[in-house]
Chain A
Amino acid sequence: MMTAATPTAERRVNRVEAYVEPAAAAPHGRVWEASKGVLIAILAFVYMVPVIVLILTSFKTQVQVMSKTPTWIFMPTLMNYHTVLMEQGFLRYMTNSLIVGLVSTLFTLVVGGCASYALVRFNFMGKGAISLGTLLLRMIPPAVLVVPIYVLWTFFGLSDTLVGLIIIYVGLNLPFTIWVLISFISDIPLELEEAAVVDGCGPWRIFFRIILPLIKPGLAAAAIFTFRISWNEFILALVLTNRMTRTLPVATTIYLTDTGIEWGNITAMGTLVALPAIIFTFLAAKQLISGLTAGAIKG
């Protein structure tokens, strides 16, 4: 591909020079600033309201949910949460989701960390193919995998087990994790490792004692994204689990019928499913943004 910077830069200079007349009415007045503030406030409102509706509804009685005019101020009730948590199996589904999320995150980080270290620091045969393959695998839609995975997992006795779900989630998350960690490991100065080699450290010791502690921010970002995928994933969990191994997103959809939806209960479940994500978002917004932009801004 051509270099993006040079031609654009030239074009830009030419075009700017072509404008000899002074700029028209400057939009950067006080009115502009004020309307900008109003627009942003409206946007924030549009983004807050649905989430607030979800959480508020989960604390409403059935009568309040059914009312034609939405109520914003009311006496909150925990009845929906009580119903949902007492519901048969719900606590089990929650435990399943936690186990699958945590175990798959841990495995993804260790396995992905090793692979990214090798891809950054070592030269070996097939390195290019592995990097490229990882990038392509990141794009595969779960819907492409759902049929063959269902067939294979049934064949291997992995379907309806948590282990089966964990294995596929590690696989789904590895490409992104490797992508993020590579950029963090590349930033570590090589001298550190060279000094460790002089001191007689082997590659594994270097990796676990020097590299891993240094890329903690990268690991944190990757961990949140991995946990989020494993916790949120729906379609594979839907076909790979049964009554015992179901995860929360799958359990939630079971209560969505065509008619007579108990919105109080559903929104309570939805709030519980969304809770980790909301907590992570407020705790680590910065890391999340660096994770979202990884690979797109840095290249």
Chain B
Amino acid sequence: MGQQRLFRGVTPYLFVAPAAGILVFTCLYPVIKGFELSFYDWSLGTPITSRKYVGWENFVWAWQDPALFNSIKVTLIFTACSVLAELFLGLAIAFMLEKGIRGIAVFRTIFIIPIMIAPVVVGLLWRYLFDVNFGLINYLVQLAGFEPKIWLGTPGLAMPAVIVTDIWQWTPFMFILFLAGLQSLPKDPVEAAEVDGASGWQVIRLVKLPLLAPVIWVAVILRIIDAFRSLEVMFIMTFGGPGRETEVLSLNIYKTAFMSQRLGLAAVNAVFLLAFILVLSVAFLTIARPALSKR
């Protein structure tokens, strides 16, 4: 390690300083500022001098705010349904494609397009597909002999529509991780099981799934964190509606700050979102990563 002895002193800090500086300025400082804001009553568009210190009042208000609890509930339902469906579909597709079939490269390319294109485009594309008059989905529904539906405007239908969109967009992420995980599994246990006469299903259930568990954990937690962050698709497809049926926590924060113009209350809601993300991140660090690094 001669190099480390040579480059001691100030050099390492010079290498890290720009990145650290930017991260502090763009992420850490704003998060702290957000905490501070949550103790003020301040309307959007008024000068900073007009803000009023109110102590815990915003938190008390938020605690009694049905909109906040609704958005937490919506976020949890959206996350649970999407991630579970993506997990099972992703596993199923990964096991189907594992052995490799002709044209797998083309399929994989097609499947990552939804991840790569802008969430805004995904949102407007599915809003078009779910459109009452011109959407492909209502066309298919009518072909099948049913009445067309106002998908994004009917309570009970908007949420499933948003979830379907998320499943379409993110199942490929799951299956790409699982496929990569399956291909890096040790060969011996699988072969041993096959020699012992285990069926394909038994090999999957008793050998591959347990070996794949760390990758599954990582994928699920990363997806949960991402689902908590998502906002564009609802913003464009429903803007939280009908009523507040699809108003996730992120959208609630945006609306509180820039529609209701209550910056302090929005900051409180952001604190709630941050708390959820922090718990999930700690779960990620303690469950998923050690399991991986010791593999």
Residues of B close to A151: CB separation below 8 A: 33, 37, 48, 263
B28 touches A68 (CB 8 A): no
**B199 an interface residue at 8 Å Cβ cutoff?**
yes
**B146 an interface residue at 8 Å Cβ cutoff?**
no
Contact pick for B101, options A40, A137, A149, A172, CB 8 Å = A40
User: In this complex, what residue of B is CB-closest to A170?
Assistant: B22
Q: A15-B206, A249-B120, A252-B120 are in contact. Are A122 and B295 (CB under 8 A)?
A: no
Choose among B12, B211, B229, B250 the residue with the greatest number of A CB atoms under 10 Å from its CB.
B12
B163 CB to closest chain A CB (Å) equals 15
Contact pick for B116, options A40, A266, A277, CB 8 Å = A277
Q: A114-B16, A203-B7 are in contact. Are A4 and B168 (CB under 8 A)?
A: no
User: In this complex, what residue of A is CB-closest to B89?
Assistant: A43
User: In this complex, what residue of A is CB-closest to B129?
Assistant: A50
B289 CB to closest chain A CB (Å) equals 6
Assembly CA distance A212 to B234 (angstroms):
40
> What 1/0 flags go to B167-204 for Cβ under 8 Å of A?
01000110011001100100001001100111111100
A27 touches B201 (CB 8 A): yes
Task: Count A interface residues, CB 8 Å.
Answer: 116
A228 CB to closest chain B CB (Å) equals 6
Assembly CA distance A1 to B295 (angstroms):
12
**A31 an interface residue at 8 Å Cβ cutoff?**
no
A175 CB to closest chain B CB (Å) equals 7
A130 CB to closest chain B CB (Å) equals 6
**A148 an interface residue at 8 Å Cβ cutoff?**
yes
Q: Which of B101-151 contact A (CB under 8 A)?
A: 101, 105, 107-121, 124-129, 131, 133-134, 136, 139
Assembly CA distance A49 to B125 (angstroms):
11
A119 touches B16 (CB 8 A): yes
Residues of B close to A132: CB separation below 8 A: 285
Residues of A close to B184: CB separation below 8 A: 297
Q: A4-B291, A36-B101, A174-B22 are in contact. Are A278 and B177 (CB under 8 A)?
A: no
A147 touches B124 (CB 8 A): no
Q: Which of B12-30 contact A (CB under 8 A)?
A: 12-13, 15-16, 18-20, 22-23, 25-30
B66 CB to closest chain A CB (Å) equals 20
> What 1/0 flags go to B256-278 for Cβ under 8 Å of A?
01100001001100100110011
> What 1/0 flags go to A125-156 for Cβ under 8 Å of B?
00000101111110111111111111110010
Instruction: Report A's interface with B, CB cutoff 8 A.
Output: 1, 3-5, 8-9, 11-12, 15-17, 19, 22-24, 26-28, 36-37, 39-40, 43-44, 46-51, 53-54, 57, 65-66, 68-70, 111-112, 114-115, 117-119, 121-124, 130, 132-137, 139-152, 155, 167-168, 170-172, 174-175, 178, 190, 193-194, 197, 203, 207, 228, 231-232, 234-235, 239, 249, 252-253, 256, 261, 263, 266-267, 270, 273-274, 277-278, 280-282, 285, 288-289, 292-293, 296-299
Can you list 7 A-B contacts (CB < 8 A)? Answer: A11-B210, A12-B211, A111-B18, A140-B277, A144-B31, A296-B177, A299-B292
